[in-house]
Amino acid sequence: MPIRAQSALPAFPNPEKRRLVLATDLDGTFLGGPEESRLELYRWIEDNRDAVALIFVTGRDLPFIRDLVAATPVPQPDFVIGDVGTTIAGGAEIVPMEELEAPIAAIWNDAGPRMRALMEGTPGLTLQPTPFRYRLSYFYDPTSPPIEAKARVEAEGFDCLMSADLYFDILPRGISKGPTLIRLVEHLGLPPEAVLVAGDTLNDLSLFETGFAGVAVGNSEPALRARLADLPNTRLSEHPGAAGILDALARRGLITEAAQ
């Protein structure tokens, strides 16, 4: 039975006392890098839960994340921004929060069937099998990027995000990881100076454009790195995945040593 959305926010104690608000992508970032680094990062978070707010900001859907935290050492997030910024969830069961999702749903306006019809027959596009609620997502052939299809999407009033030479996401106009994170941080009263964003692909670019401190981990795609040169709050780590996050935490004085 699917878990129902809730209109009220789950309790989140003492947001103003969080020394770190880690808003991190999953694949290639929080789930990437050497196993030793991943386990060290996860242990450090669990040992400091009173001072850390953990937010997953990912293209993954909620069932994937629920299974992930149930079956692996990955820590339970306090909140999830999923589906490339179009889902906001929280609580022990990681359920959607209607109060914060309502503007996203209104902008999307049940556009899935219309966008599928618009993309019908586009060479090199393969619809992803996951039934997203407020986005439509495809895989694309990197040898023939669907630039004309992207233009059609934007002409219809939606945003199109291509990343990792693989993903073609159709999103509500103005909705992506970064803007949704800003809304969540403000709504919860979390201290913006404590926020650290982390990512590795172009669908994380909007996270770094928020103005929050950021780390692009060492395995970041070159297209993302090229877009970060003029963002002074973002550091390009030499270390991949979780090791890059540990590197950033060490530079903020939150840990003394990091496994690389």
Using only the alpha carbons of the chain, give its radius of gyration.
18
pLDDT exceeds 70 at position 79: yes
Higher-confidence position of 205 and 4 = 205
pLDDT exceeds 90 at position 207: yes
- Residue 113 CA: distances (Å) to CA of 120, 140, 147, 192: 10, 19, 21, 38
pLDDT digits (tens, 9 = 90+) for 99-148: 999 999 999 999 999 999 999 999 999 999 988 999 999 999 999 999 99
Q: How many helices (H) and strands (E) does the chain have?
A: 9, 12
Residues 22 and 94 occupy one common structural domain:
yes
Among 27, 246, 227, 229, CA closest to 237:
246
Whole-model pTM over 0.75? yes
- Domain interval for residue 200: 18-98+175-251
Give the mean model confidence (pLDDT) for residues 164-171. 96
Kindly provide the residue ranges of all beta strands, DSSP E only, lying in 39-157, ordered along the sequence: 52-57, 79-82, 87-90, 95-96, 125-127, 136-140
pLDDT at 209: 98
Distance CA 79, CA 102 (A): 17
Give the mean model confidence (pLDDT) for residues 25-46. 98
CATH of the domain at 143: 3.90.1070.10
pLDDT exceeds 80 at position 259: no
> Measured in whole angstroms, how far is the alpha carbon of residue 11 from the centre of its chain?
22
Residues 148 and 203 occupy one common structural domain:
no
Which pLDDT band holds residue 5 (cuts at 50, 70, 90)? low
Q: What percent of the chain has pLDDT over 70?
A: 94
Please, are residues 73 and 39 in contact by the beta-carbon 8 Å criterion? yes
Residues 70 and 113 occupy one common structural domain:
no
Residues 119 and 156 occupy one common structural domain:
yes
pLDDT at 12: 83
Domain end call among 123, 143, 172:
172
Distance CA 236, CA 70 (A): 31
Give the mean model confidence (pLDDT) for residues 43-49. 96
Residues 204 and 147 occupy one common structural domain:
no
pLDDT digits (tens, 9 = 90+) for 226-258: 999 899 999 999 999 999 999 999 999 999 755
pLDDT at 3: 52
Which pLDDT band holds residue 10 (cuts at 50, 70, 90)? low
Residues 23 and 88 occupy one common structural domain:
yes
pLDDT at 131: 87
Residues 52 and 143 occupy one common structural domain:
no
Residues 92 and 211 occupy one common structural domain:
yes
Q: What is the DSSP letter of 8?
A: S
Residues 199 and 140 occupy one common structural domain:
no
Please, which contacts does 9-12 make with residues 24 or more away whose CB atoms are closer than 8 Å?
9/90, 9/97, 9/99, 9/100, 9/187, 9/188, 10/90, 10/91, 10/92, 10/97, 12/53, 12/78, 12/79, 12/90, 12/188
Mapped onto helix, strand or coil, the DSSP state of residue 54 is strand
Residue 5 is assigned to a structural domain of this protein: no
Question: Count of domains in the chain?
Answer: 2
**Both ends of the chain: CA-CA distance in Å?**
42
Residues 161 and 184 occupy one common structural domain:
no
Domain end call among 172, 199, 231:
172
pLDDT at 1: 39
Looking at 3-17, 76-90, 129-143, 207-221, which range is the least confident one?
3-17
Domain end call among 172, 197, 214:
172
CATH of the domain at 72: 3.40.50.1000
Residues 93 and 156 occupy one common structural domain:
no
